[in-house]
Amino acid sequence: MSSLAVGCRLRVAVLVLALLGAGAAGGGSTAHAADDGELTLDSIVNNVIVGHAEDGNYLNFDPFATVELPRIMVARTADGALTVDLYGSTKGLLKDGTYGLVPHSEGEGGHEEIITESSALQEAFASKGHLHGDVVRTSGHVVADLSITRHLIFGLLAMGIVLAIFLVLAQRYKRGVGRTEAPHGVLQNMMEVMVVFIRDEVAKPNIQGEKWRTFLPYLLSAFFFILMANILGLVPYAGAATSNIAVTGVLAVMTFVIGLLYGSKDHYKHMFLGPPDAPWPIRVILVPIELIGTVMRHLALAIRLFANMMGGSLIIFSLIGLVFIMNVLFGEAMAFGTSIISIGFTVFILLLKLLVAFIQAYVFTILSALFIGISVEEHEHEEHADDAHAEAPTSQTSGALSDRLDAVDDAVDDVTEPAPA
């Protein structure tokens, strides 16, 4: 097989991988180049694999285009003044001269110098290395980086899609479709099935009494936002906002705050005073454990969703990056053979991630309902005891009445049965 044929087939395989992996295959063009113009293993790992799985200040549409997002920096100048710096892109921020570039270290240890020279910045712009490095202020320091990121963009997009769907469905229900007549269309039927499922299988069983009505809107909002964000992570050139710990952390904090605001008196007594039937020395031990457990279960709620979504992205980009690694180490022929295996496994992982998208949305929602239900649950011990005493005579009377009715039935049977000959 000629090298030209191998090269053509390798390009076709890379194009397929780019469509399957949300543009990650094209990310090889953004990696830092070595002195001989070839990709290095370090650049493949940092930029092709990790660089596309983590958040960034750009939208990657390689090999077509790369859209840099606005940068908003709250900084303190050398003289102590607080300032807000607005730039249309990372490139514009670096060209201004107020900020410098700190690229990813390609060696172990050592101190990276800040790149501010025009020629060095132009090289970084050409290789798109400025998109994967850090920016620092040359004088003063950055207080907060409020820049727009791609996870923010896709998170807002997920919110917009969910809002648009429910606005359309709300208009249908106002016209009576779904209330006075059967739902119409695949979308309305599918959404109604999921809404009823969350109501009957998640909210009602885990939240006491009729209190589930108060928290159902939040549970539905969390479920559909997470589901849509997860599905966007499967779309080429898009990304999952739920693979960002900040997004999942905010969702977990909202569940935690709702539990605190609507927590019952019994819940707080149990949390700060311990079980009522436990001795005081035991309560001293149990109360700190209860407080730590309350915080840790919400922390686990955030990490579980983040780790599952980020893990899936890293696996996909690792499979795609394996093609470039084989190309660097063994040449185009080995890269072409590896691409066949990578495509198969990438398709399998994408299908698996579609299932995980629904599972993780369900798991987060049902755990949120469970935690909220624990907080709002009330233990009416005295009232239950009084009810039990009040119901006892009634039950005895009902039992006696039942016995009498059975005796009447037996007597009737004896009368109606024919006498033996």
Residue 222 clears pLDDT 60, i.e. is over it: yes
Structure tokens at 359: 């599972």
The yes-or-no verdict on residue 17 having pLDDT over 60 is no
* DSSP label of 24: T
- pLDDT greater than 90 at residue 227: yes
Q: What's the pTM value of the predicted model, to 2 decimals?
A: 0.77
- Tell me which of 287-291, 306-310, 393-397 is least confident: 393-397
> Percent of the chain at pLDDT above 70?
75
CA neighbor of 141 nearest in space, from 85, 193, 90: 85
Average pLDDT over residues 295-322: 88
- 344's tokens: 């198969």
Is pLDDT larger for residue 293 or for residue 28?
293
Residue pLDDT, tens place only, 80-95: 899 999 999 999 999 9
Confidence of residue 10 (pLDDT cuts 50, 70, 90): very low
Rounded CA-CA distance 276/293 in Å is 19
Task: Return the half-sphere exposure (C-beta side, CA atoms, 13 A cut-off) of residue 302.
Answer: 17
Q: What is the pLDDT of residue 403?
A: 56
Residue 152's pLDDT band (cuts 50, 70, 90): very high
pLDDT given at position 24 = 38
pLDDT of residue 106: 46
pLDDT of residue 110: 46
**Over the chain, what is the mean pLDDT?**
79
Would you say 297 and 375 are in contact if contact means Cβ atoms under 8 Å apart?
no
Rounded to whole angstroms, the Cα distance separating 14 from 9 reads 9
Structure-model confidence comparison of residues 77 and 420, the more confident one: 77
- What backbone torsions phi and psi does residue 69 show, to the nearest 5 degrees? -95, 155
Kindly report the backbone phi and psi dihedral angles of residue 90, in degrees, each rounded to the nearest multiple of 5, phi listed first.
Answer: -65, -35
Report angle CA 153, 253, 218 to the nearest 5 degrees.
75
Cα–Cα distance between 341 and 36 in angstroms, integer?
29
Output the six-digit token pair for 89.
């892109």
How confident is the model over 399-411, as pLDDT tens digits?
444 554 455 456 5
When mean pLDDT is compared across 20-24, 175-179, 247-251, the lowest value belongs to 20-24
- C-alpha span between 232 and 228 (Å, rounded): 6
Is 278 strand, coil or helix? Answer: coil
Note the pLDDT of residue 45. 58
pLDDT digits (tens, 9 = 90+) for 335-367: 888 888 888 888 888 888 899 999 999 999 999
